[in-house]
A and B are shown apart, each in its own frame.
Chain A
Amino acid sequence: LAKTTQPISMDSYEGQEVNITCSHNNIATNDYITWYQQFPSQGPRFIIQGYKTKVTNEVASLFIPADRKSSTLSLPRVSLSDTAVYYCLVGDPFSSNTGKLIFGQGTTLQVKP
């Protein structure tokens, strides 16, 4: 399973766009990139998943360059409630390992008023 590297922490202010970058140099051909969000004392929650280029949903956008060695989670106009830990994961969603998520240290995002 490819290892991921992301910043330990980030600060932002309400209303700003936040971009969290994740490095995954050893990503395999069949791997997808997935982001989870976790609030204190709660389980992680799926945010977005993508394979290449750009993916957007109602919560976030995910940008993946052509070499797929990194990815950027973009949160538009964050609010205080977006303060959480964000995890970047890499894996093959079609393999028998789909139930085995390997979490790194994550990025703690602190949104300030």
Chain B
Amino acid sequence: KAGVTQTPRYLIKTRGQQVTLSCSPISGHRSVSWYQQTPGQGLQFLFEYFSETQRNKGNFPGRFSGRQFSNSRSEMNVSTLELGDSALYLCASSLQGLAGTNEQFFGPGTRLTVL
């Protein structure tokens, strides 16, 4: 079974630009979550999508948005990039807890650098 894939793996942007990151979950997984990881703040939850609806949201500004498609693939968008948005963006998918576990399967991440 293929794991979670994220594209692109690396991205360099300049301040003020916008960026879109893509995530393909494990086949059959309907929940997709996004996280931001930085050396200073650690791993922080951005938002979760389930069946094309945002189900949970973290404490990030409105510049961070996402969506999920009918095939469960998800995209995350960051507008008006700031230097502080430089981070590793991780996507994770899960079976939604029906199996009695909230195990999330993480992708390799997209390394975003904002200059």
Contacts and interface: CB of A to CB of B under 8 A. Distances in A.
Contacts of B104: 44, 46, 99, 101
Main secondary structure of the interface of A (DSSP, over half): loop
Contacts of B35: 101, 103
A34 B88 contact: no
B88 A41 contact: yes
Interface residues of A, number: 26
B31 A99 contact: yes
A32 B100 CA distance: 10
Contacts of B91: 43
A41 B109 CA distance: 8
Contact of B109 (A42, A87, A99): A42
A100 B34 CA distance: 9
B87 interface: no
Contacts of A49: 101-103
Interface of A: 32, 34, 41-46, 49, 87, 91-106
